Amino acid sequence: MNEKVLTQHFDLKNLFQIEVYLKEAGYQAVQKALKQLKPAQILEEVKKANLRGRGGAGFPAGVKWGFVLQAVDKPKYLCVNADEGEPGTFKDRYIMSHNPHLLLEGIIITSYCVGIHTAFIYIRGEYEAIALRLEQAISEAYQHGYLGKNILKSGFDLDVYVHRGAGAYICGEETALLESLEGKRGHPRLKPPFPASVGLFNSPTVINNVETLSNVPYIILKGAEWFCQLGLPKDGGTRIFAVSGLVKKPGIYELPLGTNLKDIIFKHAGGMRNGHKLKAVIPGGMSAPILKADEIDIPMDFDSLMSAGSMLGSGAIIVIDEETSMLDVLKVVTKFYSHESCGQCTPCRVGNSWINKIVTRIAAGKGKKKDLDNIIRLASNIKGNTLCPLGDAAAMPVLSIAQKFREELELYIQS
């Protein structure tokens, strides 16, 4: 039976209220961390746990923290990436609305470990109700002494603030998030320098996803070894897979890393809706290259999906059936990226809009023979040549759809 970690208490009524949370042994991880462990010990444990980022990039959290821990001469910041803009992804929404105190515990322990005294939760603007819930939880935490000055008499101070975004997918990219938090347009920055040395307000900054941080309290309580054996040798823990699209039971499913994609769709999410046949699956949020029906017998982990030419990304699984036109899918995909491009760099700004214009023209019945070759060529010119990963995120699904479903797309052009 799969052990549930993050979602284990989600069915509890009013879990988001601190009284209920405390009753379920809440804030014990913070107690243990601040009273019994040194920051270096916490870092070691998180590194040993092989906790990789759950926002999309999969960077080892412990390694990231290590860079920032070394910096000594400036105030440090923690930015919680709660922007959750990757289409198909809604797992962080569940964590924040059902168990905000779990996230807060993760924030407190992380900040204590790295030496951070101010944390901002950058939450997407649309999640207004969630932001209010978070603010309420934060207020409760202050009242109970888990935030503010001299937490649990440990001498450690921490302030946490909620900072709402205002509708820009690009602000989920870490440097665009920093720009937005600093009060500017969400234009990604050139790297190097990396946020670990020059981040928020020029200071060393840790940026972690909501799900990533929410695992930290359990790692502290139950240890790195336990966390590792839940998952795979290089990827510790569970993942919350957000399943949507044409399945019977869309929703979140917390499962071990390495769970088979086919099983997730057919065993857990109830299989296909309306008895239709499966046509394709996007396995890691819309930016992940698409998998055909004969490619879904695959473990959901970073390496397996990478070898298959796709990626684990945000772990959002979008299921497409035989009744769906891949041209429509391509249209929705290209519309998204051309709308969300920040406009800073040439290939993404012009390329995404151009590809979207071609696809729209094909959908209007005016396709030309060279269109698909051009789409592939243009997407290839975007990939690898942009200032930030949004260019790749846009190019990869377009390339995979245009290449794997070429025959079907050509039908739209001929007719």
Partner 1 sequence: MSPKFSAQVNKEIEDIIARYPKKEAAILPVLHVVQREVGFISGEEEKFVADLLEIKPIKVREVVSFYTILNSEPRGKYHIQVCSSISCSLLGAGNLISYLEKKLGIKVGQTSPDRKFTLSTVECLGACEQAPAMMINFDYYGHLDEKKIDEILEKLE
Partner 2 sequence: MIKMVKIFIDDKQLEVEEGLTILQAAEQAGIDIPHLCYHPAFPPEGSCRLCLVEIEGIPELELSCSTKVREGMKIQTKSQKVIEARQGVLEFLLAEHPLDCPFCDKAGECKLQDYYEEYGLFDSQFDEYKEKRDKKVKIGKNLILDRERCILCTRCVRFLREVTKTQELGVFKRGIKSEIGIYNGFPVNNNYSGNLAEICPVGAITDLDFRFKTRSWFLEKGNSICPLCSRGCNIQIEYHPGLGRFALPQRVYRVKARQNMKVNSFWICDKGRYGYSYLDKNRTSKLVRPNINQKQDINWDEVLDYLTAKLKSLYFMNKTSQVALVLNSWLSNEELFLARKIFNEDLKVTNIFFADLPDEEGDGFLLTSERSPNKRGAKEIGWAYVPFTLEALAENEINCLLIFGSFFEQLLNPAQLKSALGSIETKILLSSHRPELESAFDLILPTAVIAEKEGSLTNTEGLVQGFSPALPPWGESRAEWKILIELAKRLDINFAFYRRLSSPELIYQEMAEEIPFFRKEK
Residue 223 site contact among partner 2, partner 1, none (CB < 5 to 8 Å, cut-off depends on kind): none
Closest CA to 10 of 89, 128, 84, 91: 91
Backbone angle region of 190, left / alpha / beta, with phi > 0 → left and psi within -120 to 50 → alpha: beta
Cα 288 to its chain centre, rounded Å, is 12
DSSP code of 317? Answer: E
Between residues 34 and 119, which has the closer beta carbon with respect to partner 1? 119
Between residues 56 and 186, which has the closer beta carbon with respect to partner 1? 186
Calpha distance 307→311 (Å, rounded): 9
Taking the complex as a whole, how short is the minimal distance between the CB of residue 164 and partner 1, in angstroms?
6
CB 107 within 8 A of CB 141: no
Q: Contact residues for partner 2 (CB under 8 A)?
A: 168, 185, 190, 338-347, 349-354, 357-358, 361, 368, 370, 374, 380-381, 384-387
Between residues 19 and 182, which has the closer beta carbon with respect to partner 1? 182
Residue 358 site contact among partner 1, partner 2, none (CB < 5 to 8 Å, cut-off depends on kind): partner 2
Calpha distance 51→236 (Å, rounded): 6
Taking the complex as a whole, how short is the minimal distance between the CB of residue 316 and partner 2, in angstroms?
23
Taking the complex as a whole, how short is the minimal distance between the CB of residue 92 and partner 1, in angstroms?
8
Q: Which residues of 214-239 are buried (b: 16+ CB within 10 A; e: fewer)?
A: bbbbbbbeeebebbbebbbeebbbbb
**Termini Cα distance of the chain:** 51
335: Cβ contacts below 8 Å, ≥ 6 apart: 356
Between residues 335 and 406, which has the closer beta carbon with respect to partner 1? 335
Residue 368 site contact among partner 2, partner 1, none (CB < 5 to 8 Å, cut-off depends on kind): partner 2
Taking the complex as a whole, how short is the minimal distance between the CB of residue 5 and partner 1, in angstroms?
20
Calpha distance 403→330 (Å, rounded): 12
Taking the complex as a whole, how short is the minimal distance between the CB of residue 87 and partner 1, in angstroms?
4
Residue 350 site contact among partner 2, partner 1, none (CB < 5 to 8 Å, cut-off depends on kind): partner 2
Cα 306 to its chain centre, rounded Å, is 17
Residue 232 site contact among partner 1, partner 2, none (CB < 5 to 8 Å, cut-off depends on kind): none
Taking the complex as a whole, how short is the minimal distance between the CB of residue 174 and partner 2, in angstroms?
16
Calpha distance 284→127 (Å, rounded): 21
Between residues 18 and 130, which has the closer beta carbon with respect to partner 1? 130
Residue 35 site contact among partner 2, partner 1, none (CB < 5 to 8 Å, cut-off depends on kind): none
Helix (H, G, I), strand (E, B) or coil at 305: helix
Calpha distance 51→115 (Å, rounded): 19
Q: Contact residues for partner 1 (CB under 8 A)?
A: 75, 84-90, 92-93, 124-129, 159, 161, 163-169, 180-186, 201, 242-246, 250-252, 282, 286, 316, 318, 320, 324, 328-329, 332-333, 335-336, 339-340, 342
Residue 286 site contact among partner 2, partner 1, none (CB < 5 to 8 Å, cut-off depends on kind): partner 1
Q: Count other C-beta atoms under 10 Å from residue 289's C-beta.
A: 22
Residue 157 site contact among partner 1, partner 2, none (CB < 5 to 8 Å, cut-off depends on kind): none
Closest CA to 95 of 9, 174, 199, 184: 9
Taking the complex as a whole, how short is the minimal distance between the CB of residue 371 and partner 2, in angstroms?
8
